[in-house]
Structure 1
Amino acid sequence: MMAAFGRFLFLGKPMKHKLELFYYDACPYCQLVLRVIDNLNIKVDYKNILKDEDNLDRLVNDTGRRTVPCLYIDNKPMFESADIARWLEQNQNNLEKN
């Protein structure tokens, strides 16, 4: 039987999170988050809101905001670059690597 306890399964394997980053290249706050992702070698699905209108539509429909960066963690949005960077650093051992 496998049961979740905190962030780990009883079998000792870390739980993986689905990560999607909504961003655009010229945003300095997005660049901060992108650097953290790159430095930690974390696997993320990138959603550029300027290159694909569907990404912007989803962000606005889900959150009512156009604010980036926005990191979806298991389909739950998180805003604020400092909060995102902190969460990534604190959870890096539980995140899938590239």
Structure 2
Amino acid sequence: TLFHYPACPFCVKVRRVMKKYNLSLKLVDPRNCETGMQDLMKGGGRLKVPCLRIQNNNEGTIWMYESSSIISFLESQIPEAQEINNAK
């Protein structure tokens, strides 16, 4: 799940990468979703976007807040992106 605000420039940056690699994640705007805001505050500990919630069987739930970290994580999960980054 990506917690985001539609006009936030850092959120836009993450969503552009999602679009580039045709990634489909649940998008939640915590300002317009009471349960989304509660999830973000309770789980992540702060109301800051973008925030990627990662369900990991080994480590539990990971809350990732920085757009550059989120993008790096997303690209690390996509073989096509890894090939592009390795060619640079």
Would the TM-score normalized by the shorter structure come out above 0.5? yes
Which ranges in structure 1 are unaligned for 5 or more consecutive residues? 1-19, 94-98
Shift of 1:21: 0.3
Counterpart of 1:77 in 2: which secondary structure?
strand
Counterpart of 2:24 in 1: which secondary structure?
coil
Matched with 1:17 is none
Distance (Å, rounded) in 2 between the aligned partners of 1:86 and 1:63: 19
Aligned residues: 74
Counterpart of 2:78 in 1: which secondary structure?
helix
Match of 2:28 among 42, 47, 50: 47
Structure with the bigger percentage of helix: 2
State the percentage of identical aligned residues.
Answer: 35
| TM-score, normalising length: structure 2 | 0.78
Moved over 3 A (4+): none
Distance (Å, rounded) in 2 between the aligned partners of 1:63 and 1:88: 19
Which ranges in structure 2 are unaligned for 5 or more consecutive residues? 56-60, 80-88
Match of 1:85 among 68, 71, 84: 71
Shift of 1:36: 0.5
Shift of 1:51: 1.5
Counterpart of 2:2 in 1: which secondary structure?
strand
Question: Aligned pair 1:71/2:52, yes or no?
Answer: yes
